[in-house]
Structure 1
């Protein structure tokens, strides 16, 4: 019985229908083009594979069992015919390959015209051979010659990369035509490249690094390599620059050199850290003074200060804010947020502050005595016992009369003393004038009797000496 697995007996002028590995077939008179990685098969009615082919086909694999008959009854003889298969393809980076051949009868295999397998003889059984060899990078041509003389006829040939990590140490080629596109609205980077030619390619890996650093991180973590030629990524939205590159990886785990780095600048949607160390203290004026420590972010442009939840001040170039003294006993809630140049606001730092003090002036100073001396007037008084007294102010009043009906005592401040004072020498000329002296206590909140207050105690004294003539 005749077994034919790949060719059907047809008229020489008819096209052959695709079946199994056979894709197309035409009479020898017609030109045939087989696109890589298809084999171009030329059938000859002799074992020398000379003359004009009787038939030309395109095959996806070489695996034929012609049995005891010819592959095309009306085209080739029953015995003594031959076939030449030719394939040219790009092997990418190349690497170690295994050639496996078996035939009854003869088979020869060449790479770029150099014979690699030679089993060219009439054989009553199927002969086999496996050859491991390294194919250089780029395009190469494999040619398979087959001849059957008499008896049964079959032929197989295959080539495949060796993917053992101990054998294959050849890196894949760097992916070509690498591009990036960044959509700021979606914060999405789309990378594209063209497919590699390696037969043992496992896929691709996308890497990203912060511009200015050398540490790459793999987009997608440790997942298996991409088998597509496009990828998307959402970089940290920090407003910083990131560089991308693509690397090919084969089934032995070899990784290619990366592509040229392509940078993008991400949109800034990341708020700075909150200010730290926020505190409020009372100033000598009674105002609340807020201070804080800036966050570590370098793009902080300003600070927003909120008082009881209301934006009150935007502070630039400082980490301090003074809030005016409010009503006594009032508690204020202060919050401060850092704002970067993109307008992102941090979480709030918060603190509270309660105003203290009062608006009541210390009691009038008592026990005031004034003693005239040659060098001036020496004042003594009883210290005010109130705990919040901080200062004493010394007043001197002189009589004024303009001769036109306006007369009275004109008081002016002559000295400011600390709370520990209980006496003071006002140096003045001994001119025999009548004058008034008064002392008022000032508390920590700035409260004090006015010089015109009726409660204020004045003492009258006549300076030594002779009054000057008016």
Structure 2
């Protein structure tokens, strides 16, 4: 009866004047807090059987208390109370764990409802024990029950992975959520993944391989973060693959994630072409420049200058391994350099210079104005200067006129070579009264000669002085209208 009255009296609130203000309703029990894993949910009981509604529920980051001889919380007795900690968390790949405990008085530890530690007795000193367990992969619940019957109260508990290589043989889980993004402007690849739930995680290893090749044994990088930026990617337009592996403190490495590819920007030019050749292509018109095939080249650009160390101008571009310079002037020497261009437009350095000239197949114009004037010592030859700009020399031919029926032929051979500024020649090796035939050929710097190329020449015939004069008293005239020249040897 007394206890009932006391309980009722607590609900009466009186004013300072003694007037009755009202009866307060019983306070609603506070909602149990939500404790985010791996924080424990802690419950306080005013008994050692964990029965009834907890007197208090809160969150606790660790099981490590020393209440000595006092009450663990307001409203609880200092003896014969119980405290329960509960946590559900992801253990990743699981593995070997140690469960060290110490308590005064009793402690029990459960893993998924199965008792692993049992020190359940009233003691006068702290009792300790460590139990080794294997935790399976995934999510599991730990529960710690502690009771104090009498006297001092203290409790501690932990669950720690065993990380020595001889004990831990469990590989970490494969990292999840791998992603790779590529920045073409900087040439960098950003690799990211989700945090691994291993409690004994040491870090992550990032691997990279070129398409068509395996991953190397050594990783590209190691990190404890969940991301990595690759600043060493070659900018060659090739495809590379990434994978990430987790490793723990015992040295166990997970399998690799699924490959994630990136195709790099191509800023690497091919090598410079080699093996240049310049050949005459007068039949087609011009000079032909050739070179060796260059790996990675999609086309080639040809540059020309008037000297090896001159200023080069781009002539054109081709996908072939040769190019015809149709604008090359006959007789002019040109220097050429070639570059290789890949599919991305990267241009190589220029090749070494090579010089060539288009062959001159055009002989100088015929020598005009040739005259053979007989003298008392032979003949005096004169002719007009030849207008060829590349004139190298004059070749003077002298010989005899042979007659075969009605045809007269000048069978001649070279008698002299003269400089291009000489337009006369004295021929002295003819006996008196002998007939001789002559022609003069202009030869250019490419050794072109009309007679050598066509077998044609303008012949003059004359008779050396000492022959009887003709009836009208004049000397024989120089003429060759009916004389042809013998073919060039």
Give TM-score scaled by structure 1 length: 0.71
CA distance in 1, matches of 2:64, 2:250: 28
Q: Establish whether residue 313 from structure 1 lines up as the match of residue 316 from structure 2.
A: yes
CA distance in 1, matches of 2:416, 2:136: 103
Residue of structure 1 in register with 2:66 after alignment: 65
Helix, strand or coil for the counterpart of 1:33? coil
CA distance in 2, matches of 1:197, 1:227: 13
Residue of structure 2 in register with 1:210 after alignment: 210
Residue of structure 2 in register with 1:417 after alignment: none
Residue of structure 2 in register with 1:423 after alignment: none
Give the length in aligned residue pairs: 384
Residue of structure 2 in register with 1:366 after alignment: 397
Superposed, 1:203-352 pairs within 5 Å as 203-216=203-216, 221-222=220-221, 224-229=222-227, 231-233=229-231, 235-280=233-278, 289-297=288-296, 299-307=297-305, 308-322=311-325, 326=329, 332-352=334-354
CA distance in 2, matches of 1:182, 1:217: 24
CA distance in 1, matches of 2:150, 2:408: 148
CA distance in 1, matches of 2:71, 2:280: 109
Residue of structure 2 in register with 1:13 after alignment: none
Deviation at 1:148, TM superposition (A): 1.3
Q: Establish whether residue 174 from structure 1 lines up as the match of residue 177 from structure 2.
A: no
Counterpart contact for 2:238–2:263, Cα < 8 Å: yes
Residue of structure 2 in register with 1:381 after alignment: 412
Counterpart contact for 1:370–1:461, Cα < 8 Å: no
Cα pair distance change 1:444/1:95, threshold 3 Å: farther
Deviation at 1:120, TM superposition (A): 1.2
**Residues 151-193 of structure 1 deviation map (CA, whole Å, 9 limit, x = unaligned):** 1110000111122233222221112222222222232322222
Deviation at 1:271, TM superposition (A): 0.6
Deviation at 1:302, TM superposition (A): 2.5
Counterpart contact for 1:175–1:247, Cα < 8 Å: yes
Tell me which structure has the larger Cα radius of gyration.
Answer: 2
Deviation at 1:110, TM superposition (A): 1.3
| Structure with greater strand percent | 1
Counterpart contact for 1:304–1:338, Cα < 8 Å: no
CA distance in 2, matches of 1:278, 1:49: 95
**Residues 280-319 of structure 1 deviation map (CA, whole Å, 9 limit, x = unaligned):** 466788965533223232x432233343321122232123
Counterpart contact for 1:305–1:315, Cα < 8 Å: no
RMSD: 3.8
Helix, strand or coil for the counterpart of 1:208? strand
Superposed, 1:57-96 pairs within 5 Å as 57-72=58-73, 74-96=74-96
Farther off after superposition, 163-172 or 277-286: 277-286
**Residues 379-410 of structure 1 deviation map (CA, whole Å, 9 limit, x = unaligned):** 743258879xxxxxxxxxxxxxxxxxxxxxxx
Counterpart contact for 1:209–1:215, Cα < 8 Å: yes
Show structure 2 runs of 5+ residues with no match.
1-26, 306-310, 361-388, 419-436, 461-479, 485-489
Deviation at 1:276, TM superposition (A): 1.7
Counterpart contact for 2:42–2:83, Cα < 8 Å: yes
**Residues 232-273 of structure 1 deviation map (CA, whole Å, 9 limit, x = unaligned):** 545211111122222222222322222221222211111111
